[in-house]
Amino acid sequence: MTSSPARPRTGAVSTVSVASAPCPVVVLDTDGRIAELNDVAGTLLPTARVGRPLSSPRWLAAADRTRPAPVSGTVGDRSFSAHPSVAAGGRTVWWLMEETAYRSAMGELEAERGRTRFLTEASSALLASLNLDRCMEVTARLATEHLADAALVIAPTAARTLPVVACDHRGELTRSTVSEAPDSVPGLAEALRGFPPVPSRWVDPASAPDWLIPADFGEVGSLVITPLPGHGVPAGALILLRRAQQDAFSEAEESLAGLFAARAGAAMSAARLYAEQNSISDTLMRELLPPTLRQTEGVEFAGGYRASKDTERVGGDFYDVHPPGEDSPETLVVLGDVAGKGLEAAVLTGRIRNTLHALLPMAGDHARMLRLVNNAMRTSHHTRFATLVLASVRREEHEVVLRLTSAGHPAPLIIRRDGTVEEADTGGTLIGVLPAITSRTAQVRLAPGETCLLFTDGVTEARGGPLGDTMFGDQRLKRAAAECAGMPAEAVVERVQMVTSQWIGDGRHDDIAVLAITAPRGAHLGAVDGANRGRYTA
């Protein structure tokens, strides 16, 4: 009789003997010789003989006989664990429990965990960037590291050349364009077309064109093309290559490649969509940004704009300078302030600017222009209102003549050469609220070196100062303007912006727009009708 592994080392009598045990049992003496083994063990270990040392399996033969402990290993293609129990005379009874199915299940579970980890890491890496080129590079690199010896990512394009990102067997990334048609590679055109959905396609490596094989790659053993599905649109194709020495793709690996392609395609599709939307936003933003001002018709113009948030580029304040044309002999300057902030206010400023641009032939009658703009705003779905100031500018000899009309806007400041600051005598009702508006136009003449300063209430209502909540106010603005006497237009704008920013500090503020119209000092030395920047004599 021999104790079973369920009651090891107890020495108690068991009803299970070596001969009757349902599992392989081998009894070894203190010298490692086989003292006894049952029929099941004899079948499993055909070379084992009673009285001879146990030589196979080596993991069991090498087990510690002085302090036996469970060991495990394989016998052929089967897996076993051996559990010891001590018998009389110092013998060790090894009970072999087959674990082939268990270990196979554990191996498959570990492989599945590995695939899940890879897909999780791939998702994180792919979603880390919304740049299409970066997504293509990450896709090619991950595919080479986890799925194949080399990988190519091809993006669909309307151009005649295909953008290709390749990662070779050394892990080196290369970007190129291929002028060959997708039809030159079997299955590539269908993968790039994306509809109807197609499965992965195995391609005979011998039929692959040279541009598909990385340099020094060697003989290709297997090649598969997998579509990269996007969000309703094709995102491209993933081409995986393995060398001839490597095993072909198994069904599980092909399935994993499909799951990876789905994630890569979604990331590339999102990146392409983001790039398209970003391009549209940039185009629209350029139309909303304040223009770059320069000397026009011998008059200096300079402007400065600061949105209410540093992260924004446009807002509710705006200005434009329209040079003279066939129907408008004077330069028309517009500075306005739409109620509200951010993109919605910026969109309305764009509409007002376009309306004023269309009304340029009527620039000789400011009141009429403002009435038409008021009518246009009241018939729109917007509930916002705006304030405006119009300035028609022309040069007469060395002086500049202005017609200034305000529509609910702060009156422009006239900065004389002696430092005196005057408010232009203009006023009116704001735009977009009342069915009828009124306005009063002021006539102003600027001598050389004098400036007309247009600004929005973002300057005077800027809160800051020592207590952090005091408005900048009209008087501080006038004192700052007085310090700008005789300065060029650009210097006046920079000075007003600087003192305002210093007053605000890190506090919140509204949109700020400043525009200066300055009669140049001295004679213009420009060569093209005074319309270029040129220079002026002192």
Q: How many CA atoms lie within 13 A of 164 on its CB side?
A: 22
Q: CB–CB of 458/512 below 8 Å?
A: yes
Neighbours of 256 (CB within 10 A): 21
Which two structure tokens, joined as six digits, stand for 201? 């396609």
Radius of gyration for the chain, computed over Cα atoms and rounded to the nearest angstrom:
42
Which contiguous run of DSSP H or E holds residue 499? helix 489-504
CA 204 to CA 334: how far, in whole Å? 69
The tokens for 402 are 């202005």
pLDDT reported for residue 524 = 52
Which pLDDT value is given to residue 15? 56
Phi/psi of residue 291, nearest 5 degrees: -75, 160
Check residue 12 and give its pLDDT. Answer: 46
Cα–Cα distances in angstroms (integers) from residue 242 to residues 56, 219, 426, in the given order: 38, 9, 80
Cis before residue 57, ω within 30 degrees of 0?
A: yes
94 burial (CB, 10 Å; 0-12 / 13-18 / 19+) is buried
Partnered with residue 93 across adjacent β-strands are: 27, 85
Q: What distance in Å separates the CA atoms of residue 446 and residue 476, rounded to the nearest whole number?
A: 23
* CATH 3.60.40.10 given to domain 290-519: yes
How many Cβ atoms are within 10 Å of 217's Cβ, its own excluded? 15
236 strand-pairing partners: 228
What is the spatial distance between Cα 479 and Cα 127, in angstroms, rounded to a whole number?
54
- The tokens for 284 are 């629209």
Contact between 304 and 493 under an 8 Å Cβ cutoff? The reply is: yes
Six-digit token string for 316: 């509710």
Inter-residue contact 169 to 141 (CB < 8 Å): no
Residues 6+ apart with CB under 8 A from 49: 34
The CATH H-level superfamily of 20-101 is: PAS domain (3.30.450.20)
CA-CA distance, 114 to 352, in Å (whole number)? Answer: 60
Using DSSP, state whether 535 is helix, strand or coil: coil
Nearest CA to 240 among 133, 322, 332, 153? Answer: 153
State the 10-residue block means of pLDDT for the chain, 538 residues long.
47 63 91 91 92 91 88 93 89 93 93 92 90 93 94 87 92 90 85 80 86 88 90 87 81 89 92 90 84 90 89 84 89 92 81 92 94 88 85 93 96 95 94 92 96 95 87 94 94 95 87 94 54 48
Count of C-beta atoms within a 10 Å radius of residue 475: 9
Cis link prior to 196 (omega < 30° from 0)?
yes
**Alpha helices per DSSP H over 234-341:** 251-288
Burial label for 377, CB within 10 Å (0-12, 13-18, 19+), is buried
What CATH number has the domain spanning 128-282? Answer: 3.30.450.40
In one-letter notation, the amino acid at residue 122 is A
DSSP character for 86? E
Strand ranges (E), 300-438 = 300-306, 317-322, 331-338, 386-396, 399-407, 413-415, 421-423, 427-428
Q: Do domains 20-101 and 128-282 have the same CATH topology?
A: yes
Would you give the distance in Å from CA 182 to the centre of its chain?
29
**CA gap 397, 209 in Å, rounded:** 75
Distance of CA 163 to the CA centre of its chain: 20
Query: Cα–chain-centroid distance for residue 111?
Result: 33
Matching residue, tokens 């269309």: 358
Q: What are phi and psi of 207, to 5 degrees?
A: -90, 0
Order across the sheet with 399-407: list the strands: 317-322, 331-338, 386-396, 399-407, 439-446, 427-428
Domain extents in the chain: 20-101, 128-282, 290-519
Q: pTM of the prediction?
A: 0.67
Question: Under 8 Å CB-to-CB from 424, ≥6 apart: which residues?
Answer: 404, 406, 411, 412, 413, 414, 442, 444, 452
